[in-house]
Amino acid sequence: MSPIPLGILAASGAQELPAYVLIQSVLIDSNTSSITFSGLSSLASTYKHLHIRYALRTGASGTTQTALMRFNSVDTGYARHRLTGDGSSVTSNNDGNNQSQTALGFIAGAGTGGTYGGGVVDILDAFSTTKLKTVRTISGVAATNGSVGIHSGIWMNTSAITSINLLTPVPGEFLAVAGSRVSLYGVRA
Amino acid sequence: MTTNSFDLLASSVLTSNASTVTFGSISGLYRDLILVCDIVAATTTMNLGVRFNADNGNNYFALNMRADSFGIGSSLTTQTEFRLTQRGDGQPSTTRRTSYMVQIFDYAEAKGKPILSKTNNSSITEIQSGRWANTSTITSVSIVGLTDSFGATSKFYLYGVLA
């Protein structure tokens, strides 16, 4: 099967520009407590948005856990809302303003026998210096006591995003164990 | 020049009814697969699902969350295919076209395959977290009509995502 490039045509002519471009993949071969994408300022002239895809399993003993994300190593100014299904009911949460991080989404716990959680994250207008930063996530873990959810987040800061730090909310716990993967893409607009 | 990381691998737009659409010989070059479908049923309301490598064992898990004509809800099921919807309102009919997007992560890795899906039509919005409990590389994706055939004009697209 030969791949057919899924590009967009530049408005000024027939030059094809790639719409989604891989920036970096982090493949986890040993337990790690955090993952950082840095040096992102160089992307600002080329891309409008950022996109993250992951298959993650944490070192937690439970089935599922919400992982966290912060920008530019700043620990203030985040807010998030969540809509979550747990296999029997649906709940919504307003986590309030001025949280220390926003949500990366659900990832799986190590206690589920190798189950990985999958998720996609869009960071809109990531390099704008006039807009607050909006984040949307769809993620889940398909297992007993698992979760599926939609998260909306905001970073109430107009700074361009220069780094992304993915964290576990539990001190001393591993964010990702071997076999996990996180990939970052630039999205042209 | 940088290259696209999302490539259209194959597509099918039906010109006549079909009970199954299969994309085979999938390259292992990519990390994730994305399946996008826009489906109308041939004769009635149809249930439908996705199978990998023709596996019809009880190996597909789906944890869903939805809002439909019955309200909101969530369920966890184990099935012989990854059902594209768990609800009647999420099934296409002859007049209700339904769109599905299925994300399949790490399809060539020796692990159970995480899945995310979205279902949308005029009667439902639904998301699912899924898993194919099999460590084999996915080499084929089949979209299977369980209670009817896919009607002509139904559309199926398979993308590969580099990582």
Give chain B's count of helices (H) and strands (E): 0, 12
Burial of B26 (0-12, 13-18, 19+ CB in 10 A): buried
Provide the whole-model pTM.
0.94
In chain A, which residues have their Cβ closer than 8 Å to the Cβ of B66?
85
User: Are B114 and A21 in contact (CB < 8 Å)?
Assistant: no
Cα–Cα distance for residue pair B135/A116, rounded to 1 Å: 12
Contacting residues for A173 by C-beta, under 8 A, at least 6 apart: A33, A58, A59, A60
Q: Give the number of other Cβ atoms within 10 Å of residue B137's Cβ.
A: 15
Beta strand pairing call for B32-39 and B71-79: unpaired
Q: What is the pLDDT of residues B31-73, one digit of tens each?
A: 999 999 999 999 999 999 999 999 999 999 999 999 999 999 9
What three-state secondary structure class fits B6?
strand
Of B10, B62, B106, nearest to A142 by CB-CB distance is B62
Cα–Cα distance for residue pair B61/B50, rounded to 1 Å: 12
DSSP class of residue A72 equals T
Q: What is the pLDDT of residues B21-42, one digit of tens each?
A: 999 999 999 999 999 999 999 9
In chain B, which residues have their Cβ closer than 8 Å to the Cβ of A28?
none
> CA-nearest residue of chain A to B132?
A142
Cα–Cα distance for residue pair B157/B28, rounded to 1 Å: 17
ipTM of the complex: 0.95
> CA-nearest residue of chain B to A113?
B112
Instruction: Return phi, psi of residue A41, to 5°.
Output: -60, -25
What is the maximum alpha-carbon separation in chain A? 55
